[in-house]
A and B are shown apart, each in its own frame.
Chain A
Amino acid sequence: MPSLTLLGQSLVSGLFIGGLYGLLGLGLGLSWGLLRLINLSHFALVLLGAYLTYQLAGTAGMNPFLTPLLIVPGFFLLGVVLQWAFDFFRVNEFSSLLVTFGITVVIESVIQWVWTADFRRLETPYATLSVRAGPLFLPVTEMVMLLVATALSLLTWAWLRFTWVGKGMRASVEDPDIAAAFGVSPRRLALLLSGVGAAYAGVAGTFVALVYTLAPSQIYGWIGVVFAVVILGGLGNPLGPLVAGIGIGISESLTMAVAEPSWAPLVSFTLLILVLVLRPDRI
């Protein structure tokens, strides 16, 4: 049996990785739940954002926490353009999976062309910074990541819940025709939402660059677990991915502590399978 300190440290690191899962799942879940598009290229955008942060902070010497100021507006536009194209070509839920896989492969090639397939690591003073809380170490960048993930999830939740645009968005998901008959423009709102989702990918990318070593193939590394997070959290619910992400993150890191680290994925994917088979109506 591992020591209490080790368990506590696992809990903390599970919590933090849960923040990353939540951040990644937020954008994916929004477009899947509200636009009925499964956007695999979300993961490619995250990595593209990470490499851009690496470039801006590592090579151009910008403060990494300021890079989103440049990245987010660009990604927002990208998201709008993508949604416009999906709408123009009448891409449906299923073919969106394949089209966005194509986009993913293209972005991966671009990343590999520009930054090569070698591992890249953004060296910043923040990387080693951590706070001591009793016997536990709390890494600062990951703490900020969790905070940002929580803030964005809450803001998105409030946006959908309390604003005219948010309510119009939810109404268009349920019945676009009737929403339109009451003056809502489902297509325009979809452009906005897709832009926001892509912007979130940019934010997630910055944190990925701060916390992880980058390689183009990392695009595929999180797909499985983030899909599990999005489905377990409930599609279209902006708080769902964060809650499910933290749950999965903690269960993974506890599994790592008490058993072999390599057993970790079993928990999340078994949960995902059970939800799919037993409660497919939730999705």
Chain B
Amino acid sequence: MGLALAAIPALRPPAFVESFLYLVFHWIALATSWTILSGFSGYFSFGHGAFFGAGMYTAATLAVTFGVPFLWTLPAAGVVAALLGVGIGAVVFRVRRLRGELFALLTLAVTFVLATIVLNTRIDGGPGVFLAAVAIPRIFASAASTIYVMGVAVALAAVGAAWIVQGARLGRGLFAIADDEDVAEVLGVPTYRFKLVAFGLSCFLAGVVGGIHAIFVTYVTVAETFSITVPLYVVLMSVLGGARHWLGPAVGATFVTVLTYAFVGGEWAVVGRAVVGLTLIAVILFLPQGLFGLIGRRRPGRSVPAPPAGERTVAAGSGLLSEAATDGSATAQRGPTSRPLVRCEGVRKAFHGVQALAGVDFEIREGEILGLVGPNGSGKSTLVNVISGYYRPDAGRILLDGRDLAHQPGHRIAGLGIARTYQIPRPFPRLTLLDNVTLAGMFGGAALDGGQAEREARRWLDFVGLADRASALPTELNLHQRKFLELARALASGPRLVLLDEVLSGLTPAEIGEALALVREIRRRGATILFIEHIMRAVVDLTDRVVVLNHGQLIAEGRPRDVIRQPEVVAAYLGKAYA
């Protein structure tokens, strides 16, 4: 395919055909490079013009002022743009709130700042930069052919890069970030690093595209380069085609370029633009996933084949599976021990002056099911968020094997073998059940490769009785199934400690029975469980020990039947009169 496209110049087409085709590939490359960060991770950048422009001016300056041979300026163009992007990302990606439209605005502002600097320094200085005197390498018959082939090459490189990224760990992580960044981090995705890498790659490609475009237009001006139309069109093309698919932007770019340039001249160009605008409106309203959203929800052509039938474990009524599915961490214990797995020492956390955790000390022992109970607002969820790394405690230590987790990022805590579920399930809404669970296996403590993780994921879906829904989306499930999906996702990471945050709330009595059986089975396989629950009957039935929180402090600890008789505990729940 690439060869065929590169061979077009051999047919000696008229020059305008070549430059039209160049423009198509130019936009394909630019839109695809944008998608690698913005489409995949949901961080929509409106600053793609800045990186494109940085590449353009790097190439122009090196070629014109310093006489560097043109081909050598292209890698430099890419590197400069990538450094710029990574530099911005290193600051911006640390600010939790700078997502969505705020990130879009920020990158847009960066474009204008860069434009002003370029315009007022010797890089441009105002009049623009002429590249007419720059020698175009004669790789092919004519200069136009050479530029065209360079355009094809960079477009293929960009589409290829997007294809590789989408299938790789990086892509999996980025898609998870797009759906729910906090959950991705807690599942073990190094979100900060992944965003930086994707931004760097995206900007590098944009920079190279810019470098090539400099020689195509031969006259580089600030107004044209850093205009708002570049980012707007790139976003438009990607969203039209489908920003969550490696080939989507290419389709969108081809469509838009053909529409805007094919009707050259006069009134028809206007009609072309209007059609582009109307298409965008229609796509956002009716096809938010773009044209590629129409085509299946599996990653086309790249799915790992399902394990052969013999290898698959058959759910036997209750949905439990054979021993074969247990992983390495599950070999040791089958019941409570006295060895502490996690110790919390003096953990404190306050919000706006309200003490949610006021110095909590307790330990979770290896192999036990420890109940964590307490009335509403007593600090249970805050404690889970602190242990899993979503919040940093104000003071205190959380020790796992003697190692302090208190200031580790969430993904590292996940890597050490701590997994959690959410009281209100938070599956990645645009990933299939299988992809949801596979992700946990790839990034959590287990750190499996894609194929292995997918096989494990099928087993865990089987374990919770959702095997036949593997290719469904979480939105198609009811609450009880979503709770079980949460469980499967937590288990697929091969955790040593599972934090179960109110898995039972909202379930019917029959479903509760099912869930309790699952929790027991998880422990039997060797994991330690912190079981946070309001339904006291279940806590008494299930747990080995219980700790009680009230107003951010531990008020009782011991065997469940003893604890719920203690007057302080009764008073905390039912009011003083009952104590």
Contacts and interface: CB of A to CB of B under 8 A. Distances in A.
Interface of A: 38, 89, 91, 93-95, 97-99, 101-106, 108-110, 112-113, 220, 223-224, 227-228, 231, 260, 262-266, 269-270, 272-273, 276-277, 280-281, 283
B279 to A, nearest CB: 8
Describe B's contact surface by its main secondary structure.
helix
Nearest to A231: B105
Contact of B100 (A93, A264, A272): A93
B264 interface: no
A110 B229 CA distance: 18
A228 B109 CA distance: 8
A276 B277 contact: no
B235 A98 contact: yes
Given A227-B105, A276-B102, A99 B112 contact: no
Interface in B453-477: none
Contacts of B116: 262-266, 269
Best-buried of B97, B274, B276, B277 by chain A (most CB within 10 Å): B277
Interface stretch (B11-19, B64-72, B280-288, B421-429): B280-288
Given A224-B112, A231-B105, A262 B126 contact: yes
Contact of B284 (A98, A112, A260): A98
A89 B274 contact: no
Contacts of B126: 262
Contacts, number: 119
B288 A281 contact: no
B106 A276 contact: yes
B102 A106 contact: no
Contacts of B100: 93-94
A283 B228 CA distance: 23
B106 A277 contact: yes
Given A109-B277, A227-B108, A280-B95, 13 more contacts: A98-B280, A101-B277, A105-B276, A105-B280, A108-B277, A110-B274, A112-B273, A113-B271, A220-B229, A227-B109, A273-B106, A276-B109, A281-B97
Interface residues of B, number: 45
Most chain B Cβ neighbours within 10 Å, of A91, A262, A283: A262
A273 B108 contact: no
Contact of A280 (B98, B113, B236, B285): B98
B112 A106 contact: no
A104 B277 contact: yes
A97 B104 contact: yes
Nearest to A228: B109
Nearest to B108: A224
A260 B95 CA distance: 34
Nearest to A278: B95
B271 to A, nearest CB: 7
Interface of B: 44, 91-92, 95, 97-98, 100-102, 104-106, 108-113, 115-117, 119-120, 126, 227-229, 232, 235-236, 239, 267, 270-271, 273-274, 276-281, 284-285, 288
Of A105, A109, A228, the most chain B CB neighbours within 10 A belong to A105
Contact of A283 (B102, B271, B288): B102
Contacts of B101: 38, 93-94, 97
The 4 closest A-B pairs by CB, nearest first: A105-B277, A102-B280, A109-B274, A102-B281
B112 A101 contact: no
Contacts of B108: 224, 227
B278 A106 contact: yes
A273 B110 contact: yes
B105 A276 contact: yes
Contacts of B279: 102
Contact of A272 (B98, B105, B274): B105
Contacts of A99: 280-281, 284-285
B91 A106 contact: no
Contacts of B117: 266
Given A263-B116, A273-B109, A113 B267 contact: yes
Contact of A108 (B119, B271, B273, B285): B273
B256 to A, nearest CB: 10
A265 B112 contact: yes
A223 B229 CA distance: 11
B239 to A, nearest CB: 6
A276 B277 CA distance: 29
Contacts of B278: 102, 106
A93 B103 CA distance: 13
B233 to A, nearest CB: 10
A220 to B, nearest CB: 5
A104 B227 CA distance: 16
Nearest to B267: A113
A240 to B, nearest CB: 16
A91 B104 CA distance: 18
B236 to A, nearest CB: 7
B354 to A, nearest CB: 18
Given A98-B235, A262-B116, A265-B115, A277 B91 contact: yes
A223 B285 contact: no
Contacts of A280: 95, 97-98, 102
Contacts of A112: 270, 273
B113 A269 contact: yes
Contacts of A89: 285
B92 A277 contact: yes
Given A102-B284, A273-B109, A223 B274 contact: no
B120 A276 contact: no
A109 B271 contact: yes
Given A95-B284, A106-B281, A220 B112 contact: no
Contacts of B44: 94
A184 B281 CA distance: 31
A174 B101 CA distance: 19
A253 B97 CA distance: 33
Nearest to A280: B97
29 contacts: A38-B101, A94-B100, A94-B101, A99-B281, A105-B276, A106-B278, A108-B273, A108-B277, A109-B273, A109-B274, A110-B274, A227-B105, A228-B109, A231-B105, A260-B120, A262-B116, A262-B120, A263-B120, A264-B116, A265-B116, A266-B117, A269-B109, A269-B112, A270-B113, A272-B105, A276-B98, A277-B98, A280-B102, A283-B97
A230 B274 CA distance: 28
Nearest to B275: A109
Contacts of A98: 235-236, 239, 280, 284
A220 B227 contact: yes
A98 B277 CA distance: 10
A95 B277 contact: no
A101 B273 CA distance: 12
Nearest to B281: A102
Given A94-B44, A109-B270, A224 B228 contact: yes
A223 to B, nearest CB: 6
A273 B116 CA distance: 14
| Most interface-central of B92, B236, B267, B285 (chain A CB within 10 A) | B285
Nearest to A221: B228
A231 B101 CA distance: 12
A258 B274 CA distance: 43
A166 B63 CA distance: 60
A101 B95 contact: no
B273 A262 contact: no
A99 to B, nearest CB: 5
Nearest to B282: A102
A209 to B, nearest CB: 21
B228 A223 contact: yes
Contacts of A228: 109
Contacts of B98: 276-277, 280
Contacts of A231: 105
Taking each of B44, B106, B126, which has the highest tally of chain A beta carbons within 10 Å of its own beta carbon? B106
Contacts of B228: 220, 223-224
